[in-house]
Amino acid sequence: MQRIPEPELMDDPIQAAAYAAADFTEPHNMFVEKFRKIFPEVEVTGKVLDLGCGPADVSIRFARAYPQCRIDGVDGAKAMLQEGTRRLKRENLAGRICLFHGLIPDIAVPEKHYSVIISNSLLHHLHDPAVLWQCIKNYSHDHTIIYVMDLMRPQTTQVANVLVNTYSGSEPMILKQGFYNSLCAAFTPGEVQGQLNTAGLGQLQIKAISDRHMLVYGQC
């Protein structure tokens, strides 16, 4: 099916609260576990940039997996960042994770370059995906680890509905509809490969890791 873009920002407080309260344990734990498997010799001790951090769930899981790192998270939705700020206080991680409001690629963060740049489920929100790859290039150096996980667009709307029913059947309707919209807005691995080639990041690898997720990873 053809891609159907969705709104770039999840800035509705009701939607942000529902997203923050949802159980993303399986995909977000997978995010960290796959990082460990792909980069088994890497002990992350430097600064990490999390693009599209949302309510900071992935940032928190990554910080706990790598207790020597510090994370700067960026998101364009203030409602999401408010949820994240509350979560960091509850988790006692406000000293290691800092959240910033901004739209990529022109963001204001403390570091010129980062040791690791991660992103989860941001790419499919972007009307112009080139801004993500440009932002990654802006804040990376020769040895920066790049690790991006996102949804893959299914071939048909019927498959999209099956995925929604399989993985969010017990969630509120607002999340089910959001998941369906995100699947329809996602890119295919072939499309992402074209984006990387255009951005001069063709050295990065693309790998399907589930029936709905793909990874883009490597070093700049």
62-71 b/e with 16+ CB inside 10 Å = b?
bbeebeebbb
What letter represents residue 39's amino acid? Answer: F
Higher-scoring residue by pLDDT: 14, 151 = 151
3-state class of 158 per DSSP?
Answer: helix
Tens-place pLDDT, residues 95-144: 999 999 999 998 999 999 999 999 999 999 999 999 999 999 999 998 99
Which phi and psi (to 5°) does residue 39 adopt? -125, 65
159-193 confidence digits (pLDDT tens): 999 999 999 877 788 888 899 999 999 999 999 99
- Cis preceding linkage at 5, omega within 30: no
pTM above 0.85, yes or no: yes
CATH no. of 13-219? 3.40.50.150
Residue-wise pLDDT for 192-212, tens only, equals 999 999 999 999 999 999 999
Cβ-based neighbours of 197, under 8 Å, separated by 6 or more: none
Measure the CA–CA gap between 149 and 61, rounded to whole angstroms.
14
The residue among 86, 212, 192, 93 whose CA lies nearest residue 146 is: 192
Helix (H) or strand (E) holding 27: helix 25-38
User: For the chain, which residues make up each domain, given as ranges?
Assistant: 13-219
Token code pair at residue 67: 């207790």
Contact 53, 74 (CB under 8 A): yes
Separation between Cα atoms, residue 138 and residue 151, nearest integer Å: 24
Confidence of residue 23 (pLDDT cuts 50, 70, 90): low
What is the C-alpha separation between 183 and 191, in angstroms, rounded? Answer: 14
